[in-house]
Amino acid sequence: MKILTADHVLPITGEPISRGAVAIDGEDIVAVGLANEIRARYEDVEVTDFGKAAILPGFVNCHSHLEITAMRGSLDAVEHDFRSWLLKLNELRAAMSDEEIEEAAFLGAKEGREAGVTCFGDVGRSGHAGLRAMKRAGLRGILFQETEFSPDNRTAEDDFKTLIAKFEKLQGEATELVSVGLSPHAPYTVGSMLFEMIAQFSIINRVPITIHAAESANETELMTRGTGFFTEVYERFGVEWASPHCTTIEYLERLGVLSARPLLAHCVEVTQSDIERIAANGARIAHCPKSNAKFGHGFAPFESFLDAGIAVGLGSDSVASNNLCDIMEEARFASLTARNRPGSERFIGPREMLRVATLGGAEALGLNDKIGSLEAGKKADLAVISLDAPAQNPIGDVEATLVFSTSGRDTIATYVNGKPIY
């Protein structure tokens, strides 16, 4: 057993505790409370006191692409529109070996654990890179095996077989901490039949899925009117693809995909009725405000997601677009941009933001029975953040200090399943 104490303990499901403690037995949290009480209850147990710091549940990054970590900083010279970014990305990727991709993915996972991230929802086209990176870094997570470019219904059967073969192979590498899901990439790269097959597979086998959905105006144009940039790509490659003439969310509902309760990344281009459909189906959202801003895709109606009761977590997206995996910075940016967005309805304060960054992310990944808050019975996945820097002081409100004056680089320790991994 061990006890961790600090000036502030934030259970997330309860009020912050001054001079608090977390008692850990093996992989599990057994008690959270006042340091003096916990120490009295568990005599002769080793105590680590972090002093002027905060202990909170580890951050959950519910949308990342660890396998393209090496491309950070190499894509900023391109005009940040999605098309030129993607073309340049593919060019850089083709120049790298599988070993190099894997090594870079590990460095991305290491970056996360050093910034208090204990769990990733990672999307990978090669799959192995992100999965092995999380395992090697001692992290928890779900690796979502992504589809290849497969918008044509004529190849749906084969595309599905290829995907499931990759998925089954990856499952052989899964552990108690790192499991495997599927990611039909986006409505414009996955045909309607393939979407239906994946949704059925997900429901029958209880396999989690994630989708890039309603990310840009280009996507909305294609879905609702069947025109724009993507149609040129289809013509060039001789792809048969018919526009459903409805929003992305309506389309996913029509195909039965929303009933699989997918984790929808982005959801920038959503109507009020789309939000109601997401909520009614129990689908979840990965909010990636910095990536959306970098591409100029606009603002997701973040507070409407929360007010509709949807499970929402934060995602860094890839560091090739962000360019960081820092969930505290993401939380700060999410709060500030939601506040300043035209039509913004209310302020999302630090308490609500910390919940989204931890428990919200756990709910979005369907892991909230295990992680996301500091409570007896949950797994001991936690982050310890120093509060000692001049920029963080004085501390009038520890939650505001964390969200508005703290960086992932202030992290001093990270634990997963009760084990220090940083």
Chain residues that interact with Zn ion, rule: CB under 5 A? 317
Closest approach of Zn ion to the CB of residue 12, in Å: 26
C-alpha–C-alpha distance, residues 320 and 130, integer Å = 15
Give the single-character DSSP code of 392: G
| Coil/strand/helix, residue 150 | strand
Which lies closer to Zn ion via its Cβ, residue 9 or residue 264? 264
Residue 308 burial (C-beta neighbours within 10 Å; 0-12, 13-18, 19+): middle
Which lies closer to Zn ion via its Cβ, residue 163 or residue 193? 163
Q: Taking Cα atoms as reference points, which of 318, 319, 387, 327 lies closest to residue 354?
A: 327
Closest approach of Zn ion to the CB of residue 276, in Å: 24
Which lies closer to Zn ion via its Cβ, residue 317 or residue 329? 317
Closest approach of Zn ion to the CB of residue 369, in Å: 26
Which lies closer to Zn ion via its Cβ, residue 68 or residue 383? 68
The secondary element (H helix, E strand) that includes residue 25 is: strand 17-25
Which lies closer to Zn ion via its Cβ, residue 12 or residue 268? 268
Closest approach of Zn ion to the CB of residue 118, in Å: 20
Residue whose structure tokens are 């070996």? 97
Closest approach of Zn ion to the CB of residue 385, in Å: 26
Q: Which residue is nearest to Zn ion (CB)?
A: 317
Sequence length of the chain is: 422
Closest approach of Zn ion to the CB of residue 24, in Å: 34
Does the bond joining 323 to the residue before it have cis omega, within 30 degrees of 0? Answer: yes
Which lies closer to Zn ion via its Cβ, residue 49 or residue 81? 81
- Which residues does 38 contact at the CB level (< 8 Å), separation at least 6? 3, 5, 21, 22, 23, 31, 32
Q: What single-letter amino acid sits at 294?
A: K
Beta-sheet strands, E only, within 150-301:
178-183, 210-213, 263-266, 284-287
Which lies closer to Zn ion via its Cβ, residue 56 or residue 142? 142
Closest approach of Zn ion to the CB of residue 126, in Å: 15
Q: Taking Cα atoms as reference points, which of 131, 165, 169 lies closest to residue 148?
A: 165
Beta-sheet strands, E only, within 184-269:
210-213, 263-266
The secondary element (H helix, E strand) that includes residue 251 is: helix 248-254
Encoding tokens for residue 412?
A: 């001093």
Which lies closer to Zn ion via its Cβ, residue 127 or residue 138? 127
293 in Cβ contact with 338 (< 8 Å): no
Q: Taking Cα atoms as reference points, which of 6, 11, 10 lies closest to residue 21?
A: 6
Which lies closer to Zn ion via its Cβ, residue 102 or residue 317? 317
Closest approach of Zn ion to the CB of residue 290, in Å: 12
Closest approach of Zn ion to the CB of residue 252, in Å: 16
Encoding tokens for residue 98?
A: 């599988």
- Which residues does 376 contact at the CB level (< 8 Å), separation at least 6? 28, 29, 30, 31, 32
Which lies closer to Zn ion via its Cβ, residue 86 or residue 376? 86
| Coil/strand/helix, residue 339 | helix
Closest approach of Zn ion to the CB of residue 348, in Å: 22
Angstrom CA distances, 371 to 58, 134, 417, stand at: 8, 16, 10
